[in-house]
Amino acid sequence: MKKITTSLFLFGAAILSLTVTSCNRWLNPGPETYATWATLAISDPYGDMSSSPYYFITDDTLLFYPMNHSSVNTEFKAVAGQRLILYYTDYESPEGAKSYTLVDNSHIRYINIVQMQLMATREIVKTSQPDTLGTDAIDPQYIWFGGGVFGTSRYLNMQLFLHAMDPEAHTFNLAHDLNRESPLEDGYYFLELRHDAHHDPEFVDYTAMLSFLLEGDCIEEGVKGLKIKVRTNNQGTKVYTFDYPKN
């Protein structure tokens, strides 16, 4: 988990092009506001641990129960499996109220929601014409695996750097080229990150975030991880290698 600073609003605006509509009402942000990637869940594996109708499974394998869920925008509809960036503060029980500190369950935390930035999750595209998905350069800042705990799906998360005037015009796809003789290279599933700027001029620097669902043959037994081919702005075409976490 990463403690965030006063750049919260700038951060939210920068990733707007790659997210779906969010609960963008901020609920009492402060210096102790944190951020983490998570998956929204409905079914509680521990039963009725709180009065919340939903909870969060973070990418660092924690269970978060929101204690201020009734304060969230009423337009928000919880959908199991929804990916999001969760901004939160630690919950502190009022004096005399029930304590939610669980010494024997260090992976469970009770929190107050500050904001939920809902992420558009994409599936891997299988195509024999990958160039139709875009040939524009893009610069990855961070790529990492998430999910896969407490029954959640597995994901590949990306933080990308791009130049744009209208970031909502840009599209990104993770593609498997069906022209390859084999989807594997040295035991790694080979994919291409494709970016289509749709002729949007380079104007302002943006940070974009998105998740790709990992399922099917790319996570079959024996596959070591992923190799991802990317056309970058400054380093030409690069291939990044990522090993799957060991269970």
Each residue's pLDDT tens digit, 121-151 = 899 999 999 999 999 999 999 999 999 888 8
Domain span including residue 148: 121-243
The CATH number assigned to the domain holding 158 equals 2.60.40.2370
Element (H, E) at 145: strand 139-147
Do 133 and 233 lie in one domain? The reply is yes
Least trusted range by pLDDT, from 9-23, 80-94, 156-170, 182-196: 9-23
Last residue of a domain, one of 119, 154, 177: 119
Give the number of domains in the chain: 2
pTM for the model stands at 0.80
Least confident of 79-83, 171-175, 226-230: 79-83
Boundary residue ending a domain (119, 139, 155): 119
Residue 113 shares a structural domain with residue 125: no
Q: Are 11 and 114 in the same domain?
A: yes
Strands 121-123 and 204-214: parallel
Domain-terminating residue out of 72, 87, 119: 119
> Are residue 101 and residue 192 in the same domain, yes or no?
no
